[in-house]
């Protein structure tokens, strides 16, 4: 199968304007993401609506496509970018533009999900480390996931799933294995063309999780398990943490 990586990158972030161009060491965040993805994928494009980002990407030798500023999600931007790339790829991998230390093995894990012919969409999950404690598991900004024996996602929720009946909640962490969602997706190209036409679903509106729209419409989301810890950057404080992490790696 042929894979293409697309990195949606917006300049006008509410919490962190200009985030893709923030410097981490001697390199912008978007360049770090691009170079990590290129370790695995032959085709990588940045999809943006901002000329400043396009200029930086082309400046370091990357490929970039300009997309509409009106997209409501990274999935929509990915699809437009795919149509503009002129590629014959079978699968589009949506790579988060704010994950500068994304591990190549995470991308490979997504790719292997398509070894199974009935996979429409793939994503990653991480076993929750009980050492992080109850508050981290309860955090609604960290979606939880359940899946079946064939690694097909059953449900995503901002609540804790599964509910451990008959056990005091303080002991849940030692009573069950929980999984949290890593927000990377890969889509068969024909599936991607279909899902961008779907209206928002009731579960999506309730939980504010786009992937529930796909489940409600019968698409198979296969999950790969990754134990890699990555640093997602949503705020300037996250950027400072990423810079400290880079410094520790370079020592």
User: Which pLDDT belongs to residue 251?
Assistant: 67
User: Which pLDDT belongs to residue 244?
Assistant: 86
Query: Model confidence over 126-171: pLDDT tens digits?
Result: 999 999 999 999 999 899 999 999 999 999 999 999 999 999 988 9
Please state the rounded mean pLDDT for residues 15-28: 90
Please state the rounded mean pLDDT for residues 210-232: 93
Query: How many beta carbons lie within 10 A of that of residue 115, not counting itself?
Result: 9
Give yes or no for residue 55 having a pLDDT over 90. Answer: yes
CB 144 within 8 A of CB 181: yes
Q: What is the CA radius of gyration of the chain?
A: 18
Query: How many beta carbons lie within 10 A of that of residue 92, not counting itself?
Result: 27
User: Which pLDDT belongs to residue 86?
Assistant: 87
CB 149 within 8 A of CB 85: no
Give yes or no for residue 230 having a pLDDT over 80. Answer: no
User: Which pLDDT belongs to residue 183?
Assistant: 86
Which domains does the chain carry? 1-101 (3.90.550.10), 103-229 (3.90.550.10)
**What residue spans of 70-183 are helical by DSSP H?**
74-85, 104-112, 134-138
Question: Torsions phi, psi of 245, nearest 5?
Answer: -60, -45
Q: What is the mean pLDDT of the chain?
A: 93
The SS3 of residue 142 is coil
Give yes or no for residue 211 having a pLDDT over 70. Answer: yes
User: Which pLDDT belongs to residue 167?
Assistant: 94
From residue 130, alpha-carbon distances to 48, 133, 135, 168, 177 in Å are 38, 6, 10, 15, 9
- The Cα–Cα gap between 36 and 104 comes to 7
Query: Model confidence over 86-138: pLDDT tens digits?
Result: 888 999 999 998 889 999 999 999 999 999 889 999 999 999 999 999 999 99
User: Which pLDDT belongs to residue 202?
Assistant: 98
User: Which pLDDT belongs to residue 232?
Assistant: 81
Please state the rounded mean pLDDT for residues 15-36: 92
Give yes or no for residue 71 having a pLDDT over 90. Answer: no
- What pTM does this model have? 0.92
């Amino acid at each position: 199968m042929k894979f293409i990586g697309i990195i949606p990158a917006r300049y006008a972030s509410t919490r962190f304007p200009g985030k893709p161009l923030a410097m981490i060491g001697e390199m912008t965040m978007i360049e770090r993401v691009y170079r990590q993805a290129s370790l695995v994928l032959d085709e990588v494009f940045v999809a943006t609506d901002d000329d400043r980002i396009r200029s930086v990407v082309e400046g370091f030798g990357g490929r970039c496509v300009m997309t509409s500023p009106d997209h409501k999600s990274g999935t929509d931007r990915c699809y437009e970018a795919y149509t503009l790339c002129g590629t014959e790829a079978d699968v589009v991998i949506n790579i988060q533009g704010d994950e500068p230390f994304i591990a190549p093995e995470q991308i490979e894990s997504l790719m292997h999900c398509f070894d199974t012919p009935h996979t429409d969409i793939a994503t990653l999950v991480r076993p929750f480390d009980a050492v992080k404690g109850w508050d981290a598991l309860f955090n609604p900004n960290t979606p939880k996931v359940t899946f079946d024996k064939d690694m097909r996602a059953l449900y995503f929720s901002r609540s804790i799933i599964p509910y451990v009946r008959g056990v005091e909640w303080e002991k849940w962490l030692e009573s069950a294995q929980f999984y949290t969602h890593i927000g990377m997706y890969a889509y068969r190209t024909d599936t991607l063309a279909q899902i961008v036409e779907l209206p928002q679903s009731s579960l999506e509106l309730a939980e504010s999780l786009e992937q529930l729209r796909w489940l409600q419409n019968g698409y198979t989301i296969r999950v790969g398990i990754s134990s890699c810890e990555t640093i997602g950057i949503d705020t300037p404080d996250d950027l400072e943490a990423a810079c400290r992490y880079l410094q520790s790696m370079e020592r």
